Amino acid sequence: MTRFKLSRPLWGISIGMLLFLSSAPEIAIAQNYQKLPNDQLVQRLKPAEGRINVVVDTDTYNEIDDQFAVVYALLSPEVMDVKAIYAAPYLNKRSESPQDGMQKSYEEIHRLLEKLDWPNRDFVYKGSTGFLKNYEEPLQSDAAKDLIERAKASEGPLYVLTLGAPTNVASAILMEPSITEKIIVVWLGGKGLNWPMATEFNLMQDPLSSKVLFDSGVPLIQIPTEPVSSHLQTSIPEIEYYLSGKGAIGDYLVEIFKEYNPGNTFGWSKVIWDISAIAYVVNPGWFRTEMRSAPILTDQLTYSMDHSRHLYRVALHLNRDRIFADLFKKIQDHVE
């Protein structure tokens, strides 16, 4: 049995998740990853130029930030062409199981498309119904299969904007390791490398899939929650001022934002974490990043460093005001 020593409380972890973390056997890392040489990784991890193809992998109903992120991606056609949206699994108080979370996310994506009056609604795919339990049995899903087919057919790099547990993405990589040469993953997950623990909801939901992102050599841009996307705070007055009356989608985002905290909202703000992954693709200049050796995610959910490992890019800071201004303006322009 793997033992875990936690240096501080892990707020928000369910009892079931703690049991999984304390009892999961150590599993050997898959050896058939097809890693790019570091010089090619450096090229892949440079800011994109021109309009790019993306897919969005999202646990949309997990809370309320994914809804803003999905809308932001769809309303940014000047820089990205959203080819597909994948529903990711999650388990918290808003779901009864990972499968239920995925299904609710799938339904929420369609709800957003309806509010946007989006012409194409046939590009949404259901993802995994559970979390990865070992590297020999990747989870089959329409999302993972579509990612493989889309990546292999893509002429240029396919950006995979990953906003939840990376189960769909990791399963696709395990099923077809060659796609690491065709995709670039931008993941909102984990915490900063100088944090005492890597523990964060997306990473903790599926630790094995999170390890795949760090170990497989896939070109990876990590946007940590703290101390980076945690700056993306907004409040009810700000949301109401910019989005109320701005079409069905604006009113819906205001509605879910206000309902998220039904208690005392005096002085209250909410982090809209997931728009960071979209914003990085919209304008990398709003971020300060650096290239590092990819960390090793330990069984204790801490980072261990080995500077002989492949490179990846990690965000250190972002410009909160530029990101929200761009998001609000695009929603307003959509309905005018």
For residue range 243-299, list pLDDT tens digits in order.
999 999 999 999 999 999 988 889 999 999 999 999 999 999 999 999 999 999 999
**Where residue 105 falls among pLDDT bands split at 50, 70, 90?**
very high
Helix (H), strand (E) at residue 289: strand 287-293
Statement: the pTM of the whole predicted model exceeds 0.75: yes
> So where are the chain's domains?
33-334
Q: How far apart are CA 75 and CA 334, in angstroms?
A: 7
- Bond preceding residue 295 cis, omega within 30 of 0: no
Q: Is residue 131 within 8 Å of residue 209, measured between CB atoms? A: yes
pLDDT of residue 38: 87
**What is 33-334's CATH superfamily?**
Ribonucleoside hydrolase-like (3.90.245.10)
Across 35-41, average pLDDT: 90
Across 87-110, average pLDDT: 98
Whether 9 shows a pLDDT value over 90: the answer reads no
**Where residue 34 falls among pLDDT bands split at 50, 70, 90?**
confident
Alpha helices in the chain (DSSP H): 15-23, 38-44, 65-74, 98-116, 142-153, 167-175, 201-205, 207-215, 236-243, 247-260, 275-282, 320-334
pLDDT of residue 24: 38
With pLDDT > 70 as the criterion, what percentage of the chain qualifies? 91
Across 71-91, average pLDDT: 98
